[in-house]
Structure formats: C-alpha cells, structure tokens
Amino acid sequence: MTKQDIPVAEQEVRMGRRVSRQVSVLLAEIEKEEVPDRLLELARELQKALNEKIDGQAD
C-alpha cells in the first residue's frame, strides 16, 4: 500500500500521533527548564488578579 492509497482519515490519525508525540517531547523538555523568578512573580500577580475578579463577580 503506497502513501497515496492510505485513506485520508488514517493519514490524519497518523499525523495526529506524530504531532502528539512531538508535543509530548517538547513539554517534557520545557518542564525540565528552570522557571525565572520574575515569571513566577508575574504568574502569582495574575492569579491574584484573577481571583479578585472572580470574587468580585460572585457578589
């Protein structure tokens, strides 16, 4: 069976698996990276602001 004979749906599934595998590898590499202190500080500020906004909407 040549590549042209493979149904489109099967080609999409294979592509999805390749992409998923590549994303998994990239995520694993990203998780190994040290997070800069400034980025953590900004994430905390963002979380605080989001929590305040949610709390304000609940009233």
Cα–Cα distances in angstroms (integers) from residue 21 to residues 8, 9, 15, 18, in the given order: 20, 18, 10, 5
Cα–Cα distances in angstroms (integers) from residue 27 to residues 3, 24, 56, 58, in the given order: 30, 5, 34, 35
Q: How many whole angstroms separate alpha carbon 50 and alpha carbon 54?
A: 6
- Number of domains comprising the chain: 1
Average pLDDT of the chain is 85
Question: Which tens digits make up the pLDDT trace of 6-34?
Answer: 677 887 888 888 888 888 899 899 889 99
Domain hosting 47: range is 3-58
pLDDT of residue 6: 67
Residue reference for tokens 């294979």: 14
